[in-house]
Amino acid sequence: MNETDEVSALELAALMCSRVCHDVISPVGAITNGLEVLADDDDPEMKAHAMDLITKSAAQASAKLQFARLCFGAAGSAGAELDLQDAKGVAEGLMMGEKASLVWDAPAATMGKDYVKLLLNMILIGMAAIPRGGEVAVSIAGDLAKPTIRVRSTGQAARVPEETAKFLGGRAADRFLDARAAQPYFTGLVARSLDLSIDARMDGDAFVIEASFAEGGAGV
């Protein structure tokens, strides 16, 4: 895949905002429903159920927002490094509301914030590759100033997500980019900004997305 027709910064910002809103609207809606039950229903059992729904949905919304802050946002100052344990924490929080489990093989160290951003975006793609659930294994190898980042997803019906296949390397002029496809497109942009080669493929029955430095410059 090759970078072809990049979208404008304004368009990409709008699409990524739509993506974040889509991710949090479900748990926020569940909180609203729970509050309505508390206000209108006198049944103690229903109130207990509503409180449980509110508690779980609030935790899920918080986890999604904390993940999005590191994954899409501008956490830290220019050139800042982020603690990989913090990245692990937000990834584990996100996974609590998903069908997939997380396996983490990375050093307890800090890494450039844009590498962390790339890693978290690769985890999202790894989750999308196993819609029926499974395991997402993260590994970081080599010099943390020039790391090799790998996410391997195993599970029933694992496959390369369609949006990733189409947009990880950029957007062709004849392909429409929507909020769903914006995330793998953004992942490719982040990788290229770091001069990393990034590749998404099947390895037997497992899905693998890997970013690393390659001689001769970045690729996809």
Confidence of residue 214 (pLDDT cuts 50, 70, 90): confident
Q: Residue 217: is its pLDDT beyond 50?
A: no
> Rounded to 5 degrees, what are φ and ψ at 219?
-140, -170
Joined tokens for residue 148: 């090799």
Cα distances (angstroms) measured from residue 64 to each of 19, 61, 96, 185, 207 = 11, 5, 10, 20, 23
The secondary structure element, H or E, covering residue 199 is strand 197-203
Cα distances (angstroms) measured from residue 3 to each of 46, 117, 155 = 53, 20, 30
Total residues found in the chain within this entry: 220
DSSP single-letter state for residue 32:
H
User: Which residue is listed with tokens 């974040």?
Assistant: 20
In whole angstroms, what is the distance from residue 110 CA to residue 185 CA? 26
- Kindly report which listed range (3-7, 11-15, 90-94, 179-183) carries the lowest average pLDDT score: 3-7
Domain ranges of the chain: 9-212
Helix 44-72 with 84-95: angle, nearest 10 deg? 140
The secondary structure element, H or E, covering residue 189 is helix 179-193
- Strands of the sheet containing 100-105, edge to edge, are 100-105, 134-141, 148-154, 206-212, 197-203
Evaluate whether 130 touches 155 at the Cβ level (below 8 Å): yes
Q: What is the pLDDT of residue 218?
A: 41
Q: Residue 181: is its pLDDT beyond 60?
A: yes
In whole angstroms, what is the distance from residue 154 CA to residue 202 CA? 10
Q: Residue 2: is its pLDDT beyond 90?
A: no
Beta carbons within 8 Å of 198's beta carbon, 6+ residues apart: 168, 187, 188, 191, 192, 209, 210, 211, 218, 219, 220
Evaluate whether 167 touches 181 at the Cβ level (below 8 Å): yes
CB 48: neighbour CB atoms within 10 A? Answer: 10
Q: What's this model's pTM, rounded to 2 decimal places?
A: 0.90
Joined tokens for residue 111: 């890494």
- Kindly report which listed range (6-15, 31-40, 168-177) carries the lowest average pLDDT score: 168-177
Architecture of domain 9-212: 2-Layer Sandwich (3.30)
pLDDT digits (tens, 9 = 90+) for 34-86: 999 999 888 889 999 999 999 999 999 999 999 999 999 876 555 689 999 99
Confidence of residue 119 (pLDDT cuts 50, 70, 90): very high
Q: What is the pLDDT of residue 103?
A: 97
